[in-house]
Every structure is written in C-alpha cells, then in structure tokens.
Structure 1
C-alpha cells in the first residue's frame, strides 16, 4: 500500500473543505481508498491530508493528474504544496 501526504496552506479552510468534500467521488475514482485531513493547531489554514492507494503507481498518477491541480486551485490552495510518498510496511 502507498500513502501520499500533501501539506499546503489555504486561503479559507471552510471553502477548501467544501471543495475537498465535493471532490470525494472523483477522488475515489482516481484510486484513493482511504483519506484523512489534519489542520495545524492554532492555524486551520495549514492543512495536511493523506490519501492511501493500492500501489505507488496509482499514488503518483493521482499526484500528477491535472484535475487535482485544478481542484486545488479552485479550493484556494496557496503556493506549491509539500508532497511526499510513503510505503506502508
């Protein structure tokens, strides 16, 4: 199993969360099997999310999908996100 982590700053957490939630069906169709959202204590606009996938190839395809970048822009993501890929032992 592969897990993708993304940390980014957003302009408005409530707006970002609505777009994130609305993207759920499409996200699952792109291979996400589980996901979670975390916000920095004291700053909800500093968001870290994780997405789990069956394979590293699926995780990398998701991260590189132009649709994801479009949704992130709509959601108000500021600056380039920090992205890292992990394998679960």
Structure 2
C-alpha cells in the first residue's frame, strides 16, 4: 500500500490540527484510506503525517494538490513553518 509521508515544522500544534481537520473531505475524495499524525517526543513544533492510498498515482496527485493548493496559501496552512518534506513509500514488509 503506498503511503505519502509528510514532515514539516509547525508554529503551533493546535492551529495546525484545526487546519489539517478542515481538509478531511479533500483527503476522503483523494482516496486516503488511513492517516496517522505523529510528533517527535523531543520537538513540539514538528509533525509527521502518513497518508495511505490505494495507488501511488493517487498519492502523487494528492501531493501535488497539497503543494499547489494548500501549502502555497498561508491562509490554508497557517501553522506551516518552512517547506514540507515528502516521500511516497511502498510497504515492503508488514
């Protein structure tokens, strides 16, 4: 199962979470099967998000949507601090 991994610094987790939650419908429409939000134990200003997709193409399309529509607009990504790092992974062993 392809997973889009996103990592980035944030200015405030509560603000970030509210923005993340506003895109629940967009994630559903894009085919996200499951998501996980993770935070480092030693950095409250950083998040990692895993978004599972049915295909790599769906993950790539959603990554493009995030880059062009969400992250490029400070009103849609108010807690974003810097440029997100992304990679698409395929499960090798479970």
Unaligned runs of 5+ in 2: none
Runs of 4+ residues over 3 Å off in structure 1? 70-73
Please state how far the C-alpha of 1:71 moved relative to its aligned partner. 6.5
Q: Which has the higher strand share?
A: 1
Please state how far the C-alpha of 1:80 moved relative to its aligned partner. 1.1
Could you list the per-position Cα deviations for residues 4-39 of structure 1 after superposition, in whole angstroms to 9, with x for gaps in the alignment? 101100111110011111211221111211001000
TM-score, length basis structure 1: 0.87
Q: Which has the higher helix share?
A: 1
Q: Provide the C-alpha distance between the structure 1 equivalents of 2:69 and 2:32, rounded to a whole number of angstroms.
A: 14
TM-score, length basis structure 2: 0.83
RMSD across aligned positions (CA): 1.7
SS at match of 1:41: coil
